[in-house]
Amino acid sequence: MADAIQIDALVVGGGVAGLFTLHALREAGCSALLIESRALGFGQTTSSQGILHAGVKYALGGVAGEDANEASEAAAMWGNFLQGRSGPDLRGIRVLATHEYLWRTASLMGAAGMLGARLALRTRPAVVEPSQRPAWLAGVRGDVLSLPETVIDPADLSRRLAAAAPGAIALGQVRAIRAEPASATVEIEGDGRSARVLARRVFLCAGAGNEALLALAGLGMRVSMQRRPLRQAMVRGPLPMVFGHCIDGARTRITVTSDTDDGRTVWHIGGELAEKGPAMQPDAFVRYARDEVAACMPGVSLAGAEWSSYAVDRAEARTPDTRRPSSAHVQAHGSLVVTWPVKLVLAPRAAQAAVKHIRASRDGADRWPEGWTAPPLAARPWQDATWTRLP
């Protein structure tokens, strides 16, 4: 017999958007549960570089638009979380870096972009004199700035947010959604279990998975999603810990963050390089990535390094020109609330906006019934990668 569960809110998707939404709902006094189909953070969250952007990437052209301002405000929210002043208490989370470097290629376009970063940002970068630069930037001829952007471990973030809601997160698949204006009935299958959930609101926070969920609910024609494919590069070996952006004009040529894997440094590389990657074969892409890294960090030896890459889609609300949306998307359709946060840093703001679509009744379950399994934590991309050495 299926479990019958009545709650204020059901959150679908255990990435950063869903986990922040679950926390915000429970903080608001709602009875709320979360269902995840694979692993916590699987997909966009675990593929994130963990940068709490303060708007720099969106102001390189010299104008701080809506996306730059929203990222700046969101970064301030994260500062409160990390210090335990408000929101989810993230004190002690695994912080990989408390600042990044911003450096330019030795070109006029690079100089123009650096000027834009200096003039347009609320969080102003500071000039780093040549004698104060880290060794891995010794070969850079252009300007170098220090940028106060924090980098966190997205896997530890998922673990911390999940731990704050014991018993409220389960592994299972949504099989049917019947949405009415004031409530929705969701059929779920888990590990040998099934449940019928009656919720006043259902929050769809499943990233690319929202597309299939909307189709189940009969909203596939009313809410359009777009996928922006990326191919991220990874380098592993005897490398320094690097955190920063190499820019050329208003574009971010590469963005590098670092972690460790069995005692070796791993570079996680995005930026424009990742946007060009889907058009290349994987073997050609890693060679291109090597050349880009060598050009952006000419003083770093890549001898003995291993290379890999992986494909991931950024799922977002569709825009007329298919470019990245300027802000997080949160929209209610009757009893369903659809969320795409766009960037990791914007997830808390998206959660705040989502919770405005419900009033707490304080009635209903706050834990899944006995026997429901909690989902595992998703692996980081380099933990199951295939590595190669380049000649």
CA atoms within 13 A on the CB side of 42: 16
Q: What would the mean pLDDT of 114-119 be, rounded to a whole number?
A: 59
Terminal-to-terminal C-alpha distance of the chain: 60
What's the pLDDT score for residue 222? 79
Give which of 54, 44, 46 is closest to 75, Cα–Cα: 54
**Domain 96-150+227-316 in CATH 3.30.9:** yes
Report pLDDT digits (tens) over 341-367.
988 999 999 999 999 999 888 678 899
pLDDT of residue 391 exceeding 90, the answer is no
Report pLDDT digits (tens) over 216-228.
999 877 788 999 9
The β-bridge partners of 270 are 255
Domain spans, the chain: 3-45+157-224+320-381, 96-150+227-316
Quick one: three-class SS letters along 97-130? ECCEEEEECCCHHHHHHHHHHHHHCCCCCEECCH
CATH number assigned to the domain covering 3-45+157-224+320-381: 3.50.50.60
Report pLDDT digits (tens) over 246-288.
988 778 899 999 999 988 999 999 999 999 999 999 999 999 9
Alpha helices in the chain (DSSP H): 16-27, 44-47, 66-82, 108-120, 154-163, 210-216, 272-276, 282-296, 347-355
Pairing of strands 100-104, 244-248: parallel
pTM of the model: 0.93
Q: What would the mean pLDDT of 186-211 be, rounded to a whole number?
A: 95
Q: What would the mean pLDDT of 26-53 be, rounded to a whole number?
A: 96
Q: Is 232 exposed, middle or buried (0-12, 13-18, 19+ CB in 10 A)?
A: buried
